Amino acid sequence: MANLETSLKECLSAIDGASAAALVDYTSGMALGTLGGSKEFNLEVAAAGNTDVVRAKLRTMELLGLKEEIEDILITLNSQYHLIRLLKGRGGNGLFLYLVLDASRANLAMARHQLRRIESELEV
51-76 in b/e burial notation, b at 16+ Cβ within 10 A? bebbeeeeeeeeeeeeeeeeebbeee
Q: Nearest CA to 111 among 89, 85, 88, 86?
A: 85
Q: Percentage of residues in the chain with pLDDT exceeding 70?
A: 96
Range of the domain at 62: 4-121
CATH at residue 59: 3.30.450.30
pLDDT tens track for 47-87: 999 999 999 999 999 999 999 999 999 999 999 999 999 99
For residue 90, pLDDT over 70 is answered with: no
- The pLDDT of residue 124 is 80
Calculate ∠ Cα 55-32-86, nearest 5°.
40
Q: How many CA atoms lie within 13 A of 111 on its CB side?
A: 27
Structurally, the chain folds into a number of domains equal to 1
Q: What is the pTM of this model?
A: 0.93
pLDDT tens track for 106-118: 999 999 999 999 9
E strand or H helix at 120, and its extent? helix 108-121
- The pLDDT of residue 39 is 87
Determine the Cα–Cα distance for residues 61 and 12; give it in Å rounded to an integer: 31
For residue 91, pLDDT over 80 is answered with: no
